[in-house]
Structure 1
Amino acid sequence: MASEQLLPHKARLETSYAFSRTFNPRNLEILWYPLWCQTLFDLVADAPNLIVAPQFPVWITKHHDGKLEDADDGDDPEEIKEIVREEQDAAAKIQVPVNEPEEGDYEVGAGDISFASTVPEKNAEGVLVDFAILGLGAVPQPKEKLRYGGWRITGASVRLLVELKRFASRSLKDDELNAEILAHIQEAKSDLVKQAGYLFIKDGTKNSVMAIAAAGPFWSGATIHRDDVKLTMHVLSTDDPSYQPPGEKFVNRVLKWNKIIRLDGASSAAASEARLRAVCKKMREMGV
């Protein structure tokens, strides 16, 4: 069967999986990731320099930057395998008693994702966006550098930010359903404004980024320009003691989000696909 026939079927499966009361009884956002992950990977499949980056950090606090590595840092993957194998062989000769956890025990911090948040929080050490699409610039590496994939990355530019929220309550219908979908997408839009603000602060040369706000299979898109979020950037920058605001008055512009549409709907799939193709075309045209 041709791949173009498989993909719509797979999208239907992923949608049904996220809607399933058996496998998603709590209506979790995370179970919509398969549908969006595949949609984005398919979108850039024919664009060799565009990559999908799930859970991409648009901001990391300075105290969590860690030690910077230079060009000479790092080991050859083959060397790492040999070291690990030797350590495993040595460990196999030492028997250490292990206490098996009893039922109900759990590891402190297991599943803890407080390292970063999709929106700025007091204790968060970074700000992640659910998905980003990056444009990479690269040049071939000499043969001795093939251990790093054979390319030297010369530039990495965020072209698209995607923020995903859970779907509306499945018990709702008609106007109530539409209102809750709209509320969840509005929440994603607000997060994206902050994420774009952080992105522009981090990269002083970047003037725009595309954005998708989604709730389950429903989504809306816009292009966010630096001048659109000056107030947001100012507010976020005040956390930096060295920040010296200019004398101008800061305002946020009203963004031009397009109509909410369903990614996989029987009547809207073609329109959604056309809109996504337009997004991809614009991403291709952006510089690194």
Structure 2
Amino acid sequence: MAPDQLLPRKTRLETSYAFSRTFNSRNMEFYWYPLWCQTLFDLVAGVPNLIVAPQFPVWIVEKNDQLEGADDGDDPAEVEEFERTVQGEQAAAGGMQVPSNNVEEEVGDYEPEVGAGDISFASTVPEKAAKSVLVDFAIVGLTAVPLSEEKRRYGGWRITVANACLLVEVKRFASRSLKDDELDADIKVHIDEARLDLVVQAGYLFLQDETKDSIMAIAAAGPYWSGATIHRSDVEFTMDVLSSNDPSYQPPGEQLSDREPKWNKILRLDGASSTVASEARLRTICKKMREIGDQKMNAK
């Protein structure tokens, strides 16, 4: 008998796993990650250039700390491989040993800063003075060009554009002792927490990418979720607060404020009465992400 005849769909197993009082006795957020990871991977499985990025880092760096170096624009691994190749050739030609530069030490000797603005478990920072958040999941659209035969490394493609299309923030499920209206109210409390986090995450993203005007977002609490498109104009106050510690930042003269994004109705991924609506909404999100990718390609 085939495996799919013995077990239900993976998403149902993942839901049961997260609801289990045996394995998730403390009702932790982490146990909902497999369900959402599976859902997002399934969503973009047929789109070659859309990838799911768990624990996606978004950072901003104060402009006076952005010092250009000779290796800017290259991945540290690429620089290291190139340097080792050149040094190996030089050593072979001259019959001498050439000490290699420890690029890994240079990149990795900064401890991540964890402050009030950090939303997830930790922060991943590319610069010593960077401020960042980790988004639970992001879907990123990639544009790539093939490398010539003599430069084929890392699969033979060079990534030229990485465009975040969707941010997903997952919170733990409501208290499992609640029922009916109390349960609905507690679910909304956790959804609202995810929404607030996504507003801050979008603010970081817009500061990182000045050309980006909007980002799609999913706020989830267990299997329940709500979506919206967050526009740059929705988070002007948040961006102002995030920028306040940058000495180069020039605050605007007028009073800024945030606008509430238009969040849609809360649905359950696998609910008896909402599965069809949930799947239709997810397909719409996927369609929009493909359109964003097409627009990026046409703009090149």
User: 1:90 aligns to what?
Assistant: none
CA distance 1:29–1:268, shift in 2 (3 Å): same
Residues 188-225 of structure 1: CA distance to partner in whole angstroms, max 9, x if unpaired?
00000000001001100000000000000000000001
Which whole-Å CA distance do the structure 2 matches of 1:190 and 1:6 have between them? Answer: 41
SS at 1:154 equivalent: strand
* TM-score between the two structures when normalised by the length of structure 1: 0.79
The aligned counterpart of 1:22 is 22
For 1:27, give the aligned amino acid.
Answer: N
User: What is the count of residue pairs matched by the alignment?
Assistant: 255
| 3-state secondary structure, aligned to 1:137 | strand
SS of the aligned residue for 2:79 comes to: coil
TM-score by length of 2: 0.76
CA contact (8 A) 1:119 1:194 kept: no
Q: Corresponding residue for 1:118?
A: 119
Name the amino acid aligned to 1:39: T
Residue identity opposite 1:44 in structure 2: V
**Whole-Å Cα distance in 1 between the matches of residues 113 and 187 of structure 2?**
25
Please state how far the C-alpha of 1:4 moved relative to its aligned partner.
Answer: 9.3
AA in 2 matched with 1:25 = S
Distance, in Å, in 2 between the alignment partners of 1:58 and 1:282 is: 22
Tell whether 2:232 aligns with 1:231: no
In structure 2, distance between residues paired with 1:182 and 1:148: 44
Shift of 1:74: 2.9
Q: Secondary structure at the match of 1:188?
A: helix
- Aligned equivalent of 1:214: 220
Write the deviation string for residues 23-58 of structure 1: whole angstroms up to 9, x where unpaired. 000101001000000000000001111110000011
**Structure 1, residues 246-286: CA drift from partner, whole Å, max 9, x if none?**
22331211211000000111221111111000000001111
2:170 aligned with 1:164 = yes
Alignment-mate amino acid for residue 117 of structure 1: D
Task: Tell me if the contact between 1:118 and 1:130 (Cα under 8 Å) persists in the aligned partners.
Answer: no
Establish whether residue 54 from structure 1 lines up as the match of residue 54 from structure 2: yes
243-252 or 253-262: bigger deviation: 243-252
Aligned position for 2:263: 257
SS at 1:74's partner residue? Answer: helix
Task: For 1:156 and 1:214, locate their aligned partners in 2 and report how far apart those are by CA, in whole Å.
Answer: 24
Aligned to 1:98: none
| Change in 2 beyond 3 A, CA 1:240/1:35 | same
Distance 1:275-1:225 versus aligned 2 partners, 3 A rule: same
- The code of the aligned residue for 1:177 comes to L
Q: 1:114 to 1:21 in 2, by over 3 A?
A: farther
CA contact (8 A) 1:130 1:164 kept: yes
Matches of 1:20 and 1:179, distance apart in 2: 22
Q: Given that residues 114 and 124 in structure 1 are in contact (C-alpha distance below 8 angstroms), is that contact kept between their aligned partners in structure 2?
A: no
Q: 1:284 — aligned with what?
A: 290
Aligned partners of 1:120 and 1:126 also within 8 Å:
no
